[in-house]
Amino acid sequence: MAADSEPESEVFEITDFTTASEWERFISRVEEVLNDWKLIGISSGKVLEKGVYTTETWEEKSDEIAFADFRFSVTHHYLVQDSSDKDAKEEQVEDIIPVAMQDLLCMNNDFPPRAHCLVRWYGLREFVVIAPAANNDAVLSESKCNLLLSSISIALGNTGCQVPVFVQIHHKWRRMYVGECQGPGVRTDFEMVHLRKVPNQYTHLSGLLDIFKSKIGCPLTPLPPINISIRLTYVLQDWQQYFWPQQPPDIDALVGGEVGGLEFGKLPFGACEDPISELHLATTWPHLTEGIIVDNDVYSDLDPVQAPQWSVRVRKADNPQCLLSDFVTEFFKLCRRKESTDEILGRSAFEEEGKDADISHALSKLTEPAPVPIHKLSVTNMVHTAKKKIRKHRGVDESPLNNDVLNTILLYLFPDAADKSADGSEARTSPSAGCFPPTDNEDYNIYIQFKSAPSDSLTYKLALCLCMINFYHGGVKGVAHLWQEFVLEMRYRWENNFFIPGLTSGAPDLRCCLLHQKLQMLNCCIERKKARDEGKKGSNSDRSSGDIGKTIDLVGKDYLKEGDKEKGEVGKSWDSWSDSEEEFFECLSDTEELKGNGQEGGKKGAAKEALKPEGRLHQHGNLTLLHPGDPLYVPVTQEPAPMTEDLLEEQSEVLAKLGTSAEGAHLRARMQSACLLSDMESFKAANPGCCLEDFVRWYSPRDYIEEEIVDEKGDVVIRGELSARMKIPSNMWVEAWETAKPIPARRQRRLFDDTREAEKVLHYLAGQKPADLARHLLPCVIHAAVLKVKEEESVEDISSVKKIIKQIITHSSKVLRFPNPEDKKLEEIISQILNVEATIARARSLKAKFGVEKCEQEDERKALEKFVNSFLEQPEVSVTGAGRGHAGTIIHKLFVNSQRVATMMPLDEELKRSGSLDEKRFSSGIAGDFPLPAGREVILRTTVPRPAPYSKPLPQRMYSVLTKEDFRLAGAFSSDTTFF
Task: Enumerate the H helices of 713-857 as residue ranges.
Answer: 732-739, 754-766, 770-796, 799-816, 823-850
Residue 261 CB partners (closer than 8 Å, separation 6+): 250, 251, 252, 253, 254, 255
Residue 831, pLDDT > 50, answer yes
- pLDDT category of residue 239 using cuts at 50, 70 and 90: low
Q: Quick one: which of 510, 513, 502 has its CA closest to 451?
A: 513
Report for 555-569, 571-585, 764-778: range of highest mean pLDDT = 764-778
Question: b/e string for 197-235 if b means 16 or more Cβ within 10 A?
Answer: ebeeebbbbebbbebbbeebebeeeeeeebbbbbbbbbb
Residue 642, pLDDT > 90, answer no
Sign of CA dihedral 146, 148, 149, 150: positive
- pLDDT category of residue 856 using cuts at 50, 70 and 90: confident
Q: How far apart are CA 463 and CA 445, in angstroms?
A: 17
Beta partners for residue 618, in sequence order? 634
Q: How far apart are CA 613 and CA 739, in angstroms?
A: 19
Q: What long-range pairs does 155-159 form, CB within 8 A, spacing at least 24?
A: 155/27, 155/30, 155/31, 155/34, 156/180, 156/181, 156/182, 157/182, 158/27, 158/31, 159/31, 159/34, 159/35, 159/39, 159/40
For residue 432, the model assigns a pLDDT of: 46
Mean pLDDT computed over 784-801 = 87
Residue 64, pLDDT > 60, answer yes
- pLDDT category of residue 398 using cuts at 50, 70 and 90: low
| C-alpha distances out from residue 352 to 347, 357, 362, 365, 969, Å | 11, 9, 11, 10, 83
For residue 935, the model assigns a pLDDT of: 92
Q: Could you tell me how far CA 666 lies from the centroid of its own chain?
A: 48
Task: Enumerate the H helices of 303-418 as residue ranges.
Answer: 323-333, 341-345, 362-367, 379-382, 385-394, 403-413
Contact 183, 160 (CB under 8 A): no
User: Residue 76: what are its φ and ψ, rounded to 5°?
Assistant: -105, 110
Residue 163, pLDDT > 90, answer yes
3-class SS letters over 153-187? HHHHHHHCCCCCEEEEEECHHHCEEEEEEEECCEE
Q: How far apart are CA 898 and CA 931, in angstroms?
A: 9
For residue 13, the model assigns a pLDDT of: 66
**Percent of the chain topping pLDDT 90:** 21
Which comes out higher in pLDDT, residue 721 or 566?
721
Residue 222, pLDDT > 60, answer yes
Query: If you average pLDDT over every residue of the chain, what do you get?
Result: 77
Contact 877, 312 (CB under 8 A): yes
Which comes out higher in pLDDT, residue 377 or 31?
31
Q: How far apart are CA 106 and CA 89, in angstroms?
A: 19
- pLDDT category of residue 568 using cuts at 50, 70 and 90: very low
Beta partners for residue 284, in sequence order? 231, 309
Q: How far apart are CA 456 and CA 443, in angstroms?
A: 12
Which comes out higher in pLDDT, residue 256 or 883?
883
Beta partners for residue 975, in sequence order? 187
Residue 259, pLDDT > 70, answer no
**Residue-wise pLDDT tens digits, 321-352:** 888 888 898 889 888 888 887 777 775 444 44
Burial class (CB in 10 A: 0-12, 13-18, 19+), 749: middle
Beta partners for residue 720, in sequence order? 706
Look at strands 126-132 and 165-169 and give their pairing.
Answer: parallel
**Residue-wise pLDDT tens digits, 178-200:** 999 999 999 999 999 999 888 88
Contact 370, 571 (CB under 8 A): no
Residue 150, pLDDT > 90, answer yes
For residue 666, the model assigns a pLDDT of: 65
Mean pLDDT computed over 582-590 = 39
Residue 819 CB partners (closer than 8 Å, separation 6+): none
Mean pLDDT computed over 600-623 = 63
- pLDDT category of residue 644 using cuts at 50, 70 and 90: confident
Contact 958, 211 (CB under 8 A): yes
**Residue-wise pLDDT tens digits, 433-459:** 444 445 556 777 888 888 888 888 899
H or E element, residue 81: none
Q: How far apart are CA 600 and CA 611, in angstroms?
A: 14
Residue 140 CB partners (closer than 8 Å, separation 6+): 169, 170
Q: How far apart are CA 64 and CA 665, in angstroms?
A: 63
Q: How far apart are CA 712 and CA 723, in angstroms?
A: 25
Q: How far apart are CA 277 and CA 244, in angstroms?
A: 11
The CA-to-CA distance between both ends of the chain, in Å, stands at: 63
Q: How far apart are CA 114 and CA 875, in angstroms?
A: 7
Mean pLDDT computed over 761-769 = 89
Beta partners for residue 300, in sequence order? 295
Q: How far apart are CA 380 and CA 466, in angstroms?
A: 20
Kindly report which listed range (52-61, 153-162, 817-826) carries the lowest average pLDDT score. 817-826
For residue 238, the model assigns a pLDDT of: 73
Contact 970, 121 (CB under 8 A): yes
SS3 (DSSP) at 298 = coil
Report for 374-378, 434-438, 742-746: range of highest mean pLDDT = 742-746
- pLDDT category of residue 847 using cuts at 50, 70 and 90: confident
- pLDDT category of residue 742 using cuts at 50, 70 and 90: confident
Q: How far apart are CA 843 and CA 852, in angstroms?
A: 11
SS3 (DSSP) at 190 = strand
- Which amino acid is residue 939, in one-letter code? I
Beta partners for residue 707, in sequence order? 719
Residue 35, pLDDT > 90, answer yes
For residue 231, the model assigns a pLDDT of: 95
For residue 151, the model assigns a pLDDT of: 94
Q: How far apart are CA 821 and CA 817, in angstroms?
A: 8
Q: Quick one: which of 539, 537, 541, 542 has its CA closest to 562?
A: 537
Residue 867, pLDDT > 80, answer yes
**Residue-wise pLDDT tens digits, 530-544:** 887 777 665 444 444
Q: Quick one: which of 188, 190, 189 has its CA closest to 177?
A: 190
Mean pLDDT computed over 234-242 = 74
**Percent of the chain topping pLDDT 70:** 74
**Residue-wise pLDDT tens digits, 660-706:** 776 766 676 666 677 888 888 889 888 888 888 888 888 888 888 87
Kindly report which listed range (265-279, 388-402, 881-895) carries the lowest average pLDDT score. 388-402
For residue 256, the model assigns a pLDDT of: 36
Radius of gyration of the chain (CA): 44
**Residue-wise pLDDT tens digits, 124-147:** 999 999 999 988 889 899 999 999
Report for 360-369, 435-444, 456-465: range of highest mean pLDDT = 456-465
Residue 814, pLDDT > 60, answer yes
For residue 586, the model assigns a pLDDT of: 39
- pLDDT category of residue 11 using cuts at 50, 70 and 90: low
Residue 884, pLDDT > 60, answer yes
Kindly report which listed range (273-287, 655-669, 729-743, 825-839) carries the lowest average pLDDT score. 655-669
Contact 233, 281 (CB under 8 A): yes
- pLDDT category of residue 169 using cuts at 50, 70 and 90: very high
For residue 174, the model assigns a pLDDT of: 92
